[in-house]
Structure 1
């Protein structure tokens, strides 16, 4: 079974409103639920607050609880469900949400380890992929979507975001084809100047 890449999809701590919006970042995808959508969700993760973590543990009885994590009883698609983590990183207790395929043995532990590794880095940084995912996550539904008949056939179904080229001049562009300047413009100011990589 191919493993979807583990990826951070939002920078910062999501409040409750953002958390619920992030639970289905792909709501506008073409033909939802008509195919195997598990690869869209599997491996996605982001940070949440302690209040949001505790709220989610009380929503329904968890499917299971393990030290520092619990899984939601309701599945999103196939074997994909939400797993919530409470992890001590650099002597601080932090909380996270991620999507795991529970049919894959050890996947929650792999996601936990990836989160700890990513968040234990000594210097804040973002990869290009993380920048694009944050742009997608933080853009309102009215200003993002999926390429349709206006795009070449090979690009249809890919993620697009609205760009404002000039006053009252707006157009959609493929998320993956944004230039570094366009990425910088669409990021909040406090994220624009983070380094791209970190020395090991």
Structure 2
């Protein structure tokens, strides 16, 4: 079953250094399996101060380092750890930390794209899968669900457990559709327009 949501901003605003540590250690209400694997943490992120970013960089040699990002060597749980980002948004440097599943080598880049999308609405560099994840994360829970969760017989067996979302279809009205089946036009309609600087 899909982890809900794929990306989640867990704090609005800029977390102080002390509050950053609280957020990094915040328990999550999830099954024991998801807590042990780290699946319930992967995809969570928030904004931090430059001081926090710089101090975390100095603590230990990083797990990896690339332009504008590095990963903390100590993992949270399983293969999930912390990636730190320095991103220029609207001509201003900002700093973020996200929980990434490092078993997926693309997770840090996907997290960076998700943060940039959330903060600006810019989908540049986002794959179709990342755009679908962003739509899923931004859609209110009343307008999305897991196929077959409430009524298994309403879905073909191969579609049960997949993410579904309400969309408006001309001539039919509002219908429930698998997220993966959204057309390019439906994706563009559901993605927010980029804000002007």
TM-score scaled by structure 2?
Answer: 0.58
Are residue 21 (structure 1) and residue 38 (structure 2) matched? no
Corresponding residue SS for 2:11:
strand
- Report the alpha carbon displacement of residue 9 of structure 1 after superposing the two structures with TM: 0.6
Cα offsets for 1:145-192 (capped at 9, x unmatched): xxxxxxxxxxxxxxxxxxxxxxxxxxxxxxxxxxxxxxxxxxxxxxxx
Q: Give 1:177-196 correspondences, 5 Å limit.
A: none
- Unaligned ranges ≥5, structure 2: 123-137, 141-189
User: 1-side partners of 2:76 and 2:118: how far apart?
Assistant: 25
Aligned to 2:7: 6
Distance in 2 separating the partners of 1:37 and 1:62? 22
Q: Secondary structure at the match of 2:62?
A: coil
Q: Who is 2:133 aligned against?
A: none
| Residue in 1 that maps onto 2:75 | 75
2:53/2:84 contact within 8 Å kept: yes
**Corresponding residue number in structure 2 for 1:169:** none
Query: Secondary structure, in 3 states, of the residue corresponding to 1:41?
Result: coil
Residue 178 of structure 2: aligned partner: none
Q: Which residue of 1 aligns with 2:100?
A: 100
Distance in 2 separating the partners of 1:199 and 1:63? 34
Distance of 1:16 and 1:9 partners within structure 2: 15
1:52 aligns with 2:48: no
In structure 2, the CA distance between the partners of 1:80 and 1:32, relative to structure 1 (3 Å rule), is: same
Q: CA RMSD in A?
A: 3.1
CA distance 1:17–1:36, change in 2 (3 Å): same
Distance in 2 (CA, whole Å) between partners of 1:17 and 1:33 is 29
1:151-166 alignment runs, 5 A limit = none
Gaps of 5+ in 1: 130-196
* Matched residue count: 130
Does structure 1 conserve the Cα–Cα contact (< 8 Å) formed by 2:34 and 2:40? Answer: no
Cα distance change on mapping 1:32 and 1:23 into 2, 3 Å: farther
- Matches of 1:121 and 1:31, distance apart in 2: 32
What's 1:42 paired with? Answer: 42
**Conserved? CA contact 1:26–1:40, under 8 Å:** no
Deviations 1:102-160 (A, max 9, x none): 101211000000101111149xxxx686xxxxxxxxxxxxxxxxxxxxxxxxxxxxxxx
TM-score (norm 1): 0.57
Name the CA distance, whole Å, in 2 between partners of 1:199 and 1:30.
30
Whole-angstrom distance in 1 between the partners of 2:34 and 2:12? 31
Q: How far 1:21 moved relative to its partner?
A: 0.2
